[in-house]
A and B are shown apart, each in its own frame.
Chain A
Amino acid sequence: MANFTWFYRLASPPTSYAAAGRLWLWFAVPAVLLIAVGLYGGLVSAPADYQQGDAFRIIYVHAPSAWLSLLGYSVLGVSAGIGLIWRMKLAHALAAAVAPIGASFTFLCLVTGSLWGRPMWGAYWAWDARLTSELILLFMYLGYLALRSSFDDVSRADRASAVLALVGLVNVPIIHFSVNWWNSLHQGSTVLRVGGPAMPASMLVPLLESFLGFTLLFAALSCVRLRAEILMRERRPTWLQDGLTVSASHE
């Protein structure tokens, strides 16, 4: 059997609590800078689109939100699986921590897309494969959160909701490939595309900055929420009270 010591050490609440506490600022600072630079580049510097005019600029929020809705669910599903197989409490805590973040980005993605769709397509909403599967993703997130909150016992909530999270994982590739598999109203992917991005550098660079910035923001928020989740779960153990009194006496 391979050496999983590091894995088990990471799984210990004191280690991960401290690690997340050290990491989050390293994510948050570049996140804020990159989002500021990316949004300025996208909303101000980049040229207008030849067909959509200024309305295309919603891509600088919409596309990163869509990506994070999928990344969030992948993290949720994979950590739920790890939590089930290895009985790892920290993995369940991470799943519970990222779920509201992913749900928020899914909501943001649907709202921005809808606002763009009205002037461009002529409709706020259409039941095409991409839009419908993304809506189902939002319901999977909400279902996961609802199921969690219906248990008083944390470990039972962990296991039951993890199964639901695994079931929803099938939706992630469906959302991504829906525009290729079916005739849909939603256009195909601009950046991840055979033949390279269908966008000049003046538009693409701010978009990539925005992607990276929002992803780092997601990581920072996950760290903060994971800490809160660990605190909530480890109310009783003494390491926490020791750690808190120690750090309180230092300050």
Chain B
Amino acid sequence: MTARQRRLAWVAAILSGVGLSALVAFKAFDQNLLYFVDPSQVVAGKAPQGKSFRIGGMVTKGSVVRLPGSLEVRFVITDFAHSVPIRYTGLLPDLFREGQGIIAHGRLQNGEFMADEVLAKHDEKYMPPEVAQSLKTAPQPSASLSTQPAQGQP
């Protein structure tokens, strides 16, 4: 083994060692790396009890109710299998609308999710308004919640 081959082996060892440890670490932390849980996991009782977490889902069409004279909003989010009602007081992001994927941070209280932060999730699709308008005539899957296109589509 020449000196150069030995250095090559060292570099290969560093790369595979770090790669392997990253893999093991990610396996171990898999649940914590998920930015949000979906309504089905909440209904199944898999959401953290008694502490705050993030929930992600699509805002159900026609579910948004604004209380007059305040910033309080109530709406329902769904992953097309289960849904969870959400209550939030504050300013909503520009992209918040019915049929949009959102992520809310807060805690569960008597089956209702009390959010202290609502973030709108954007998908990877871009189009001019006219195209979006003409697409509306045909049934289209709106803003997909996750990057897996099949997930959550009815």
Contact = CB atoms under 8 A, between A and B. Distances in A.
Interface in A168-182: 169-170, 174, 179-182
29 contacts: A47-B130, A48-B129, A50-B128, A50-B132, A51-B143, A85-B4, A85-B8, A87-B7, A120-B94, A121-B93, A121-B119, A122-B93, A122-B117, A123-B93, A126-B35, A129-B33, A167-B18, A170-B19, A170-B22, A174-B22, A182-B34, A183-B34, A183-B56, A185-B103, A188-B147, A190-B126, A200-B128, A202-B128, A203-B127
Interface residues of A, number: 46
B123 interface: yes
Contacts of A122: 91-94, 96, 117-120
A86 interface: yes
A49 B35 contact: no
A-B CB proximity, top 5 nearest: A122-B93, A50-B132, A47-B128, A188-B147, A198-B125
Nearest to A204: B126
B11 A85 contact: yes
B82 to A, nearest CB: 16
Nearest to A189: B124
B24 to A, nearest CB: 12
A31 to B, nearest CB: 25
Contacts of A193: 124
A183 B53 CA distance: 14
Given A85-B4, A128-B35, A121 B14 contact: no
A84 interface: yes
A187 B147 contact: yes
Interface residues of B, number: 43
A199 B127 contact: yes
B121 interface: yes
A182 B33 contact: yes
B127 A200 contact: yes
A89 to B, nearest CB: 15
B75 interface: no
Contact of A199 (B15, B122, B126): B126
A45 to B, nearest CB: 12
Contact of A51 (B8, B26, B95): B95
Contacts, number: 128
A74 to B, nearest CB: 13
Nearest to B9: A85
Interface string B89-112: 001111110000001000000000
B49 interface: no
Interface of A: 47-52, 55-56, 59, 81, 84-87, 119-123, 126-129, 163, 166-167, 169-170, 174, 179-185, 187-190, 193, 198-200, 202-203
A131 B131 CA distance: 31
A129 B4 contact: no
B78 to A, nearest CB: 16
B72 to A, nearest CB: 16
B27 to A, nearest CB: 11
A62 to B, nearest CB: 13
Contacts of A188: 123-124, 147
B119 A187 contact: no
Nearest to A77: B15
Contacts of B103: 185
B127 A120 contact: no
Interface string B1-12: 000100110110
Contacts of A185: 35, 103, 119, 121
Nearest to B3: A87
B153 interface: no
B21 to A, nearest CB: 9
Contacts of B131: 50, 200
